[in-house]
Homo-oligomer: A and B are copies of this chain.
Amino acid sequence: MTSKSRKITQREIARIAGVSQTTVSTVLNDREGSTARIPAATRARVMEAIERSAYVADPAARRLAGLDNQIIGVFTYEPALSPESMDFYGPLLNGIERSAETLGCDLLFFTSSPVQDGRRKLFHRRTRLGLADGCILLGQEMDGADLDRLVDERFPFVAVGRRDETDARVPYVGIDYAAPTVDLIDRAVGLGHERAVYVHRGRETATARDRRGAVQSPAATRQIRTTLITDEDLTAVAGTVRDAGATLVLAEDAFLAEEVVHVLQTEGFDVPNAVSVAALAEVRGHRIGERALTGFHVRRRQVAAEALALLQRLITTAPEEWDALDTQRLLSADLEAGETVVERRPA
């Protein structure tokens, strides 16, 4: 073997097959029409030259010539492949990889983006964003300017997570926490609970508002009285529970739930027999003592799959017609029964 093969181009193939570069291109893309007809014999000759020389098209040239590339960009605001971020990013990346595989797309991770204020910047002088046909954005919080610019440039992208707070036109696939929150409360009511405390982090993100909204919604307040407090002074939790006569504590996320339980137990509460506890977020892998924490489960793999499907639709649709598309999608989190919300014991 050991051909000194530098780089095989269509021109090279053309020379071997005794045709023009145009013909090679036509054969490769089997483009047929009144303007370009290739008889079987010629086609075969060209094909053979291609097979024998193991030609592969230069993706850069294809891209420059205006074709798409089957490359999907993946941007994360922090390192995605570190052990710490794996809990969050792992299932998402897995879902993305699987979808990309079936779509026949490669994945371009923008790991080179310079870090500013502790998070990566999507746009910079040497960004390779333009190589991708579209881009998936991952991260707990994103830069509004980045999103605006993507929208302005009509670059196909999809954010994972609710993003309507920054720009109403941002396409996203997010999680609905409101519906399962109401479900969870229903279930607690069914177990006899009448007073609850909701401990939240006082954030003003869309999902935080969603959860508060659900807790304070008519559907919920009709059945249970809930006192809201923030995590600023966790030691106050015990007092609030006592004062409100609450038998159920909801926490904004699983970590907060764990802290709250610790405080309650220190104050002599029996969890969950005297006070039930649940988190309004992902709880897989979180336990309170021996018991699995009650809360939600988010099917992240499915979120990723939906995001890629949406992105694919954007890529294959002309920007002018994006308005007609349904580009903002919410998936409901699943209720994860767990074992920390139990029947209310008569006092």
Contacts and interface: CB of A to CB of B under 8 A. Distances in A.
A98 B3 CA distance: 36
Nearest to A3: B152
B111 A101 contact: yes
Interface string A3-14: 101110000000
A80 B97 contact: yes
A42 interface: no
Interface string A90-101: 110110111011
A148 interface: yes
Contact of A106 (B96, B101, B128, B152): B128
Interface in A98-145: 98, 100-101, 103-112, 123-131
Contacts of A149: 54
Nearest to A50: B125
A58 interface: yes
Which one of A54, A71, A128 has the greatest number of beta carbons of chain B within 10 Å? A128
Interface residues of A, number: 57
Interface stretch (A62-70, A194-202, A331-339): A62-70
B106 A5 contact: no
Contact of A107 (B83, B90, B103, B111): B111
Interface string A334-347: 00000000000000
A152 B94 contact: no
A255 to B, nearest CB: 22
Nearest to A104: B112
Contacts of A109: 97, 106-109
A109 to B, nearest CB: 4
A79 interface: yes
Nearest to A107: B109
Given A56-B127, A90-B86, A153-B5, A97 B112 contact: no
Contacts of A94: 79, 81-83
A60 B126 contact: no
Contact of A79 (B60, B97, B104): B97
A58 B54 contact: no
Nearest to A2: B152
Given A108-B71, A112-B106, A56 B1 contact: no
A74 B111 CA distance: 13
A87 to B, nearest CB: 11
B106 A107 contact: no
A320 to B, nearest CB: 11
Contact of A108 (B56, B63, B106): B106
10 contacts: A58-B130, A60-B130, A71-B108, A81-B96, A82-B97, A83-B90, A86-B86, A100-B111, A103-B112, A106-B111
Interface of A: 1-3, 5-7, 54, 56-61, 63-64, 69-71, 79-83, 86, 90-91, 93-94, 96-98, 100-101, 103-112, 123-131, 148-149, 152-154
Given A6-B153, A59-B127, 19 more contacts: A56-B124, A56-B126, A60-B64, A70-B112, A79-B94, A80-B97, A81-B93, A83-B91, A97-B111, A100-B111, A101-B112, A104-B112, A105-B112, A106-B108, A106-B110, A106-B112, A107-B108, A107-B111, A108-B108
